[in-house]
């Protein structure tokens, strides 16, 4: 099978092997190490480098290659390897020195005397003791080591190999099939199946080679059949090892599980335990603190263990945005994960240990997600430990999202039904705010099913409410109202009038988002009346405010102003500064719609000041934007630009991509009004990028179109 991909790795490694104009110009580095997990293609890269270097005439003395079999049951020793190297140098039989010490002396002397530059490849090393005695005593030659472990104790230039890209994975299998039979058109006929097969193989060259060999033998069967077999088995290693075609070009068995097994068995007990448990983590990427919870260890104990696993290429790390160790994410290769979960499943003690670990991580997730959700809701920071502010909470939720969503899916298991459903409730606000609507809907469906199976009608109603919010924000109004209505019926059956009122409010929100203002007014009125009846003044005030917005959208401006003024009065009477700020903001929007721009600016400035006094930076950002829009309407473009700039600064602080995008679009409009067309175009393009990050492709396309409309 020909060499495929790795262009970046070749570009990094080859220049260091070049002698330049003469050896005096060569780089002083002597040793290079290609490292990576088993099966990632280290030997193939080393051999390819040797071929290319030889073709360029860089090593006229030739290449010496020795397989140290570092991960076999009986690895080669340096003493054994030196015999093979001497043989390759022509020293054998009667010429071979009698003692090991003399053999090393002869080996080093031959390399020192040889003026023709040589490349020495020490392949598949697992321990420095295998190769340290073999290093030349001269910097004239070059040494290339391959290993699954990083030789961090040596001054070595490292080339860490990752798995192949999707395109290179597809190219590898395609080339393997065409090399056997150029008429094999399955890759062309089944591109989707081939990509799925590459994903199942984890883009690991060894797995892809095995899959290609199976397809060659199954030449009258399509790729889809192999994909279906792997999907049904649920473990690619089982299917691929069962159909393994023998050995590779280097005479090594083409098998996956033994490769993973040898790496695992070499680990000390604490690392082996951590790897097993990490394979049970709910998401593909997991934070350091989450792994610590999973393992039941302190973070400062867990971090060096993870670094040791990364040095053995059994996990990989992703740096944190802030450079902190606790913010790092750790990823386990899919095939390693399948192997690890298999190890746990086959041992009763490991299964019990694994279940305890899963319970710990769910409890950890609930604690953190609840605190983070509280900060998103504007609750006092004192009650939201361990996060210091909203931005930190959002960063944690963004980092752990895939794991959090996956952990909710554990609600399908009876033992996790309650805790996973509770986690789903903690995530609803965040997922909707970040516009991860598909995740929010999937989470709600899973949690709702668990609640129904448990016969918990209150929890089922709460999850249906979360589902309705996600569906509404995703623009699926009819489905949202259906979910809300089912939740409403459950709360009415339970006799919870407060929750019933909240559902009428949410139905109004869904109708308002869908542009059905008159129906929204009816729903809001029903909710307001219920809150009045039960004496809930806070939510009554909130409903007056919502009613005001709906009345504005229905064109009933005077009644809208009265409704928001009523809301403001109620909040003032309660001493609720944040509520009053929201009412001022809503009132400002209505006044602006009516054309009373001067009063609108005053209202928005009052709202902004109240938000700032309460320490609500998010509300402050919103009102800076509203002030900017009103100033633009008043023909004060340069002041509007300044206001939008302040809003943008805060949204970026919170990493609120949608808020950032909307603000940038409004900023562009203000720049256009000021005849600053270059700035307007740039702001629209930045808005498009922010909309893309915020999962809003339609708005992104519209922003790009507005940028294109700006005059040169």
Residues 6+ apart with CB under 8 A from 176: 1, 209, 212, 213, 216
Q: For strand 285-287 and strand 142-147, is the pairing parallel, antiparallel, or unpaired?
A: unpaired
Is the pLDDT at 194 greater than 70, yes or no? yes
* Separation CA 477–CA 519 (nearest Å): 13
d(CA 210, CA 352): 34
SS3 content of the chain, % helix, strand, coil (to 5): 70, 5, 25
pLDDT in tens, 91-115: 988 889 999 999 999 999 999 998 8
Output the six-digit token pair for 680: 């307007």
| pLDDT of 242 over the 80 cut | no
Is pLDDT at 478 greater than 70 in this prediction? yes
The Cα–Cα gap between 323 and 66 comes to 40
Q: How far is CA 596 from the centre of its chain?
A: 47
Residue 250: the pLDDT is: 54
User: Cα separations (Å) of 628 from 99, 190, 583, 613?
Assistant: 87, 54, 18, 20
Which alpha helices (DSSP H) does 136-235 contain, by range? 166-180, 186-189, 191-200, 205-217, 223-233
What is the DSSP track for 318-358? E--TT--STT-EEE--HHHHHHHHHHHHT-HHHHHHHHHHH
pLDDT category at 382 given cuts 50, 70, 90 is low
Confidence check: pLDDT of 22 > 60: no
Given its phi and psi angles, is residue 109 left (phi above 0), alpha (psi -120 to 50 degrees) or beta? alpha
SS3 235: coil
pLDDT at position 531 over 50: yes
pLDDT band with cut points at 50, 70 and 90 for residue 241: confident
Note the residue count of the chain: 712
Q: Which CATH superfamily is domain 7-160 in?
A: P-loop containing nucleotide triphosphate hydrolases (3.40.50.300)
Give residue 252's pLDDT. Answer: 60
Residue 391 CA to residue 368 CA, distance in Å, equals: 14
Q: Parallel, antiparallel, or unpaired: how do β-strands 142-147 and 119-125 relate?
A: parallel
**What is the number of alpha carbons within 13 Å of residue 581 lying toward its C-beta?**
23
Domain ranges (residues) in the chain: 7-160, 166-256, 258-362
Average pLDDT over residues 547-576: 95
User: How many other β-carbons are positioned within 10 Å of the β-carbon of residue 436?
Assistant: 20
Answer whether 329's CB lies under 8 Å from 287's CB.
yes
**Topology of domain 258-362, CATH:** Arc Repressor Mutant, subunit A (1.10.10)
Say whether 258-362 and 7-160 share the same fold: no
pLDDT digits (tens, 9 = 90+) for 539-553: 999 999 999 999 999
pTM metric for this prediction? 0.82
């Amino acid at each position: 099978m020909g060499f495929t991909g790795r262009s970046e790795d070749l570009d990094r490694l080859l220049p260091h092997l070049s002698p330049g104009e003469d050896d005096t110009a060569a780089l002083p580095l002597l040793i290079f190490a290609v490292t990576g997990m088993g099966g990632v293609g280290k030997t193939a890269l080393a051999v390819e480098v040797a071929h290319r270097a030889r073709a360029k005439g860089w090593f006229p003395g030739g290449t010496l290659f020795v397989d140290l079999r570092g991960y076999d049951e009986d690895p080669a020793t340096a003493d054994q390897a030196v015999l093979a190297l001497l043989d390759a140098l022509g020293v054998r039989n009667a010429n071979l020195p009698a003692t090991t010490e003399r053999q090393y002396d002869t080996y080093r002397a031959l390399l020192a005397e040889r003026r023709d530059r040589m490349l020495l490849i020490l392949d598949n090393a697992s321990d420095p003791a295998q190769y340290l005695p073999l290093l030349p005593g001269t910097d004239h030659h070059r040494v290339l080591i391959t290993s699954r472990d990083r030789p961090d104790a040596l001054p070595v230039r490292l080339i860490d190999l990752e798995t192949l890209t999707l395109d290179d994975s597809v190219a590898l299998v395609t080339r393997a099939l065409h090399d056997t039979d150029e008429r094999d058109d399955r890759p062309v006929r089944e591109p989707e199946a081939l990509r799925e097969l590459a994903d199942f193989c984890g883009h690991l060259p060894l797995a892809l080679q095995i899959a290609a060999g199976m397809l060659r033998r199954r030449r009258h069967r399509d790729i889809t059949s192999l994909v279906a077999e792997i999907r049904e088995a649920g473990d690619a290693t089982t299917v691929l090892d069962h159909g393994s075609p023998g050995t590779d070009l280097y005479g090594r068995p083409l098998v996956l599980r033994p490769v993973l097994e040898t790496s695992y068995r070499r680990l000390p007990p604490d690392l082996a335990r951590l790897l097993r448990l990490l394979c049970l983590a709910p998401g593909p990427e997991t934070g350091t603190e989450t792994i610590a919870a999973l393992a039941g260890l302190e973070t400062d104990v867990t971090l060096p263990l993870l670094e040791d696993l990364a040095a053995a290429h059994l996990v990989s790390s992703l740096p944190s945005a802030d450079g902190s160790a606790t913010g790092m994410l750790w990823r386990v290769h899919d095939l390693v994960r399948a192997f690890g979960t298999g190890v746990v499943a086959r041992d009763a003690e490991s299964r019990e240990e694994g279940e305890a670990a899963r319970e710990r991580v769910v409890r950890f997730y609930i604690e953190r997600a609840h605190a983070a959700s509280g900060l998103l809701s504007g609750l006092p920071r004192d009650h939201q430990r361990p996060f210091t502010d909203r931005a930190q909470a959002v960063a944690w939720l963004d980092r752990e999202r895939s794991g959090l969503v996956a952990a909710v899916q554990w609600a399908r298991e009876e033992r996790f039904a309650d805790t996973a459903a509770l986690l789903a409730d903690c995530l609803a606000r965040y997922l909707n705010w970040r516009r991860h609507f598909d995740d929010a809907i999937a989470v709600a469906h899973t949690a709702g099913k668990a609640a129904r199976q448990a016969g918990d009608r209150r929890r089922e109603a709460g999850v249906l409410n979360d589902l309705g919010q996600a569906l509404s924000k995703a623009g699926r109004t009819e489905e949202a109202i259906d979910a809300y209505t089912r939740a409403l019926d459950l709360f009415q059956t339970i006799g919870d009038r407060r929750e019933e009122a909240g559902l009428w409010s949410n139905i109004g929100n869904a109708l308002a988002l869908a542009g059905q203002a008159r129906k929204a007014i009816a729903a809001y009125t029903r909710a307001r009346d219920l809150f009045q009846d039960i004496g809930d003044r806070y939510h009554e005030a909130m409903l007056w405010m919502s009613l005001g917005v709906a009345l504005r959208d229905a064109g009933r401006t005077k009644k809208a102003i009265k409704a928001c003024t009523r809301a403001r009065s109620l909040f003032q009477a309660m001493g609720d500064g944040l509520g009053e700020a929201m009412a001022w903001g809503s009132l400002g929007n209505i006044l602006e719609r009516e054309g009373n721009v001067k009063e609108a600016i005053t209202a928005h400035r009052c709202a902004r000041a109240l938000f700032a006094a309460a320490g609500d930076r998010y509300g402050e950002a919103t009102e800076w934007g509203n002030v900017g829009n009103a100033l633009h309407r008043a023909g004060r473009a340069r002041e509007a630009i300044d206001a939008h700039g302040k809003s943008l600064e805060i949204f970026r602080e919170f990493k609120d991509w949608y808020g950032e995008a909307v603000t940038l679009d409004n900023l562009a409009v203000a720049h256009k009004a000021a005849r600053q067309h270059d700035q307007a175009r740039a702001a629209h393009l930045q808005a498009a990028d922010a909309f893309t990050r915020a999962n809003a492709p339609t708005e992104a396309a519209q922003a790009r179109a507005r940028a294109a409309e700006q005059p040169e």
